[in-house]
Amino acid sequence: MVFEGIMSIAVTNLTKEYGSQKAVDSINFEVKTGEIVGFLGPNGAGKSTTMKILTGYVKATSGHVAVGGFDVSLQAMEARSSIGYLPEHNPLYPDMYVIEFLQFVGRLYHLKGRLLKERIAEMLHLCGLEREQHKKIGQLSKGYRQRVGLAQAFIHQPPVLILDEPTTGLDPNQLAEIRELIRTLGKDRTVLFSTHIMQEVEALCDRVVIVNRGKIVADDILQHLKGNSDSLEAVFRKLTT
């Protein structure tokens, strides 16, 4: 299913202040339906703060944010229902079984009966969790816990996925698996994800937004951004130092 006709994410003059510090400083960007966009920046650049504002977990100081056509401030519940969110620190319940957790999350999105069972079965298959479904989450490896996090983010089939550092701490094999899973989930969805792994961006992204010290310093498709440079990493270092 492709969601057409609206801008999936629209950010206008977004600012977030903590006392005298501006974590996000009047940024503007849009993400079109169906795009996979990498959100890059050094630690403290404002990436996680921006994502928390987009998902309604943190209030902006000023500016306007719309997700799925809904104003995040004025239509909070509608906006949140349009989003699948995986925070940087994957908030799971280690004592719950995988299938139990997905049932719990599905009910939060008002899924029930046959539809809930179908969505859970789809997520278990899509995220490679069928063999793990009767294990407690606390028994899983980091890679499989990330799979559970992605499954809960996608169970209600939202048009927008917002993923904050989804591959942090994974080994190379796990990283490749999660990268492929994000690619699969993003085939007909809008994806905004932050990462420090340049190869991941080059493998997955249509476009890159680079932030530094709360401001956007670059926003372009990957090919244009790299220009004559051999790597995105070289461009990133130049723009954030």
The reported pLDDT for the residue numbered 5 is 45
Inter-residue contact 33 to 6 (CB < 8 Å): yes
pTM of the model: 0.88
CA distance 121 to 148: 13
Tell me the backbone φ, ψ of residue 189, rounded to 5 degrees. -135, 165
The reported pLDDT for the residue numbered 53 is 95
Inter-residue contact 82 to 162 (CB < 8 Å): no
Domains present along the chain, CATH in parentheses: 1-82+160-171+188-241 (3.40.50.300), 92-157 (no CATH)
The reported pLDDT for the residue numbered 2 is 38
Is the torsion defined by CA of 9, 163, 161, 48 positive or negative? negative
* Other Cβ atoms closer than 10 A to 107: 11
The reported pLDDT for the residue numbered 227 is 75
The reported pLDDT for the residue numbered 6 is 55
Residue 184 Cα to chain centre, angstroms: 14
Strand boundaries in the chain, DSSP class E: 9-18, 21-31, 36-40, 62-67, 70-71, 83-86, 160-164, 190-194, 207-212, 215-221
Per-residue pLDDT of the chain (241 residues; tens, 9 = 90+): 333 445 689 999 999 999 999 999 999 999 988 889 999 998 889 999 999 999 999 999 999 999 988 999 999 999 999 999 999 888 899 999 999 999 999 999 999 999 999 999 999 998 989 999 999 999 999 889 999 999 999 999 999 999 988 887 777 877 788 888 888 877 788 999 988 778 788 888 889 999 999 999 999 988 888 776 667 888 888 888 8
The reported pLDDT for the residue numbered 3 is 38
10's CB contacts (< 8 A; 6+ apart) are: 30, 64, 65, 66, 67
